[in-house]
């Protein structure tokens, strides 16, 4: 099972994205957090393998929060997922330790599958096309 955390302040986006991920990747265990405070608790209890992180969050920016996550949990893959596809945000995301940056405007589940496959080493590699594993919660 691939443990996934979606951190986004938009309830609608979180639900829609979670539903799309569950349909495409039925082996994912998915948790949600509307902000950094909730996300920090989920990281402690759920221990995700991958986090999809928005930039604009209540309490702390996703870019700053990514730095904190990577400092304490460098093994967690953090993917910035934002509507603000600007070069300065991309640079800040990568400088803060983000593993990838994806624009919500060009969101494509096939690209996400390839991205997830590429960031995990062989010992943590998951078959992204195995419909026999059901992990969506």
pTM comes to: 0.86
What average pLDDT does this structure show over 99-122?
A: 81
Q: What six digits make up the tokens of 74?
A: 């460098």
**CATH classification of 2-122, choosing from 3.40.630.190, 3.40.50.2300, 3.90.320.10, 3.40.50.300?**
3.40.50.2300
In tens, the pLDDT along 59-72 reads: 899 999 999 999 99
Per domain, the residue ranges of the chain are: 2-122
Alpha helices for 27-75 (secondary structure H):
36-46, 62-72
Interatomic CA distance for residues 104 and 88, integer angstroms: 16
User: Which residues have a Cβ under 8 Å from the Cβ of 86 and sit 6 or more positions away?
Assistant: none
Whether the Cβ atoms of residue 7 and residue 54 lie closer than 8 Å to each other = yes
């Amino acid at each position: 099972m691939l443990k996934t955390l979606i951190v986004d302040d938009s309830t609608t986006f979180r639900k829609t994205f979670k539903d799309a991920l569950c349909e495409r990747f039925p082996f994912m265990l998915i948790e949600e957090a509307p902000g950094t405070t909730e996300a920090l608790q989920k990281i402690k209890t759920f221990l995700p393998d991958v986090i999809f992180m928005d930039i604009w969050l209540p309490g702390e920016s996703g870019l700053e929060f990514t730095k904190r996550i990577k400092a304490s949990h460098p093994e967690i893959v953090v993917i910035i997922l934002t509507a603000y596809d600007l070069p300065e945000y991309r640079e800040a995301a990568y400088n803060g330790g983000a593993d990838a940056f994806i624009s919500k405007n060009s969101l494509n589940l096939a690209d996400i599958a390839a991205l997830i496959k590429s960031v995990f080493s062989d010992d943590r590699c998951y078959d992204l096309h195995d419909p026999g594993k059901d992990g969506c919660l």
